[in-house]
Amino acid sequence: MAADIRVVLWLTLRSEEFHTFVNRTEDALRSLFRSIDHDKNGKLDKTELRDAFARAGLAIPKARLDDFFSRVDSNNDGAISFDEWRWVTVCLERWLS
């Protein structure tokens, strides 16, 4: 019985730590998204994305930016929402390989 309680406590603590990590990561992603969203409409357009890459010192050819944008803009509305942004930033390594 005592071992069962220890396992539950361990899992609970780990779960709380995981939720803290996820919340902090989400906050960081939202902050980055907002810093790129210059017109503050809650969506990123190609110009905002190109400018963000340029500020990061990355010169992205138009064809590559168009390809990146079309892959991330999953609903094809011409903009990248925060949900689309979150998905690509979390899954970027798998997506690029």
91: DSSP letter: H
The whole-number pLDDT of residue 71 equals 87
Domain ranges in the chain are: 25-96
The whole-number pLDDT of residue 1 equals 47
**H-helix segments, 1-97:** 2-36, 46-55, 62-72, 82-96
CATH top-level class of 25-96:
mainly alpha
**Residues in a beta bridge with 80:** 44
The whole-number pLDDT of residue 16 equals 75
Averages of pLDDT over each 10 residues, the chain, 97 residues: 57 69 83 95 95 91 91 93 85 58
